[in-house]
Amino acid sequence: MAGGEKRCGLIVVFCASLAGSAALGQVPGNGEWPNYGNDPGGMRFSRLTQINRDNVSTLKLAWVFHAGDMSFGSGGRKRSGFETTPILVDGTLYITTAFNRVIALDPAGGEQRWAFDPQIDPTWEYGDGLVNRGIATWLDPSRSKAQPCRRRIFESTLDARLIALDGATGKPCADFGEHGQVSLRNVPGYIPGRYHMTSPPVVIDGIVVVGSAIDDNQRVDMPAGVVRAFDARTGVLRWSWDPIPPNAPTAQTAASPKTWRTGAANAWSIMAIDPVRDLVFVPTGSASPDYYGGLRPGDNKWANSVVALHAKTGQLAWGFQLVHHDLWDYDTASPPLLATLNHAGKIIPVVIQGNKTGLLYVLHRDTGTPVFPVEERPVPRSDIPGEVTSPTQPFPVAPPPLVPQQFSMDDIWGPTAEDREWCRTEIGRLRNQGIFTPPSIKGTLAVPGNLGGMTWSGYAFDPQYGLLIVNTNNFPNRVKLIPRNKVRSNQEDGEYGPQTGSPYGMIRRFLQSPSDLPCTAPPWGTLAAVDMTEGKIRWQVPLGSMQNFGGAHDPIPPGSINLGGPIATAGGLTFIAGTTDPYIRAFDVENGKELWKARLPASGNATPITYVSSTGRQYLVIAAGGHPKIPEDPLGDVLVAFTLP
């Protein structure tokens, strides 16, 4: 049977045990956290049990470390965000800062061992702000412990460089590229700052694979979203892959080459790898520009997809598109997660992939074929001249959507009558036909919105219970297209994008009433556990609070917009921060009950990790830095560690 599947017949319990054992085999068992998601497939699961349901309430602050790199948005700089997810290998904790410095720490006490500064220019126009989410590592099996750069640390920088450092000293690896670095700027249409890197690369079989972040809504022909692979020893380019090359079949059949103009579809989020299958799993974003696709007709494959590439060659093994001809900025923002499931009496290797729509897809890892059925359903058509929307979009039959897919006037909420009336008036003006309502000149209600559903926060998988732990947002926004001849006269409030080269600029605004709170009813953020065997939601609870968001309010229900993902442990726990209130929390993985929370110096818009140090103690660590795009959010530079008394 394909993919090494095993028939389980009626012995469901035995099959569940097999699936859990197979998944656990992927998880490091030595107390380290060697990858962004712990194991190469990104399950974010730890086997550690020292901290568990029974004692998590006694967790105390162990140490703090100040990274020192912050920008408050003055002097030509954008605001910073401390969003790093550390890794722990060889008894050393490695982090990155907002300015791309790499720092090595003692994991038991937080003392600095070394630091490397790539000296980026912080005044460049980085669309995501000054942000870096982590690094990758590789152990060169051909080198002895006495040789330099046996353990290599790889970082991709905001100013588009790939850097290799000696894990022991922090010195650049002289044999990698030019003095330890490779330029990533040689892509068609490169624009300094607007083409940058925020996520860590991945390393598989001596190859470093890196994507890119490309600013939204600036131009039609933004830089190409190529994914590239470099030799981990030498830095020599091994291959590159373009999600939507200019000679793509959809381009040639739908329009002449002269009218086909686009770019991006870039892999700005975190990738996953399967070393056994020699596959790299790449999540891709939307083609440029986000809200007008008249110059990029067709489905735009492989934008808004998850694709599997052969690591040795970069050739496409398979692809699955989550959104056809995206017009909503519905990037595949969440990292792919590789797990082994018991489904329909078989043990199946899968890729779990969600996106901003709030829809969750489960695909066979070898073929990309849906494990739970996916239906192509009709969606609303565009009324914009020159725009040809996809007539259908793919909807999974299971699991169910994790956020609302439509919004009615009965759903309007506000803390005061004035807020509710403002929301009612504003939403009443908009085209509103649920998810996939196309952008319009009139204005469109985008549900769940470009910050909705599952963002780069991702998810964690607990193989013991077969549960996927997912945090989501419900935060619709208004999107409006502006005819080119009216762009300069537009005075509306919101985030403006020129979409230069297209007939329309765009403006979008989150639907927040005068109180600054959303027009949708809370919770605006939730944490859920999805039973991946049955494709059902086991539990879903509000996550955090927006009680003080935008100022003081009368008591409001819980549930906060959140950016920063969960982890799960064999102690029966899931840990997560990410909310606008500055707390990290622990939940019982079986029922969603909150068991512990601790206040952070700033909101923790990052994913925590857990590990055991050389002292034998288990630690929980999270970066607390505030959010770069929320001006009212206090910034921080603090790495915070907790342990048991």
Token pair belonging to 221 = 């022909």
Catalytic annotation, pick one of 159, 215, 329, 637: 329
- Quote the Cα angle for 140-143-147, to 5°: 115
Task: Give CA separation, 239 vs 210, 214, 270, 304, 532, in Å.
Answer: 11, 20, 19, 21, 35
- Exposed, middle or buried, 352 (CB in 10 Å: 0-12/13-18/19+)? buried
Sheet strands side by side (includes 60-66) = 60-66, 638-643, 618-624, 609-612
Phi/psi at 24 (nearest 5 deg)? -65, -30
Q: How far apart are CA 351 and CA 341, in angstroms?
A: 10
Strand-pairing partners, residue 95, are: 103
Q: How far apart are CA 102 and CA 80, in angstroms?
A: 16
329 labelled catalytic: yes
Q: How far apart are CA 423 and CA 520, in angstroms?
A: 9
Q: How far apart are CA 2 and CA 346, in angstroms?
A: 11
Phi/psi at 140 (nearest 5 deg)? -75, 110
Phi/psi at 398 (nearest 5 deg)? -150, 150
Q: How far apart are CA 263 and CA 257, in angstroms?
A: 14
Longest dimension (CA), the chain: 70
Q: Where are the alpha helices (DSSP H) in 272-379?
A: none
Strands 130-132 and 80-82: parallel
Contact 289, 503 (CB under 8 A): no
CA dihedral 243, 244, 248, 253 (to 10 degrees): 130
Task: Give CA separation, 72 vs 76, 78, 196, 341, 637, in Å.
Answer: 10, 7, 20, 45, 12
Q: How far apart are CA 290 and CA 421, in angstroms?
A: 31
- Exposed, middle or buried, 555 (CB in 10 Å: 0-12/13-18/19+)? exposed
Residue whose C-alpha is closest to residue 282's, from 338, 357, 222: 338
Known catalytic residues are: 329
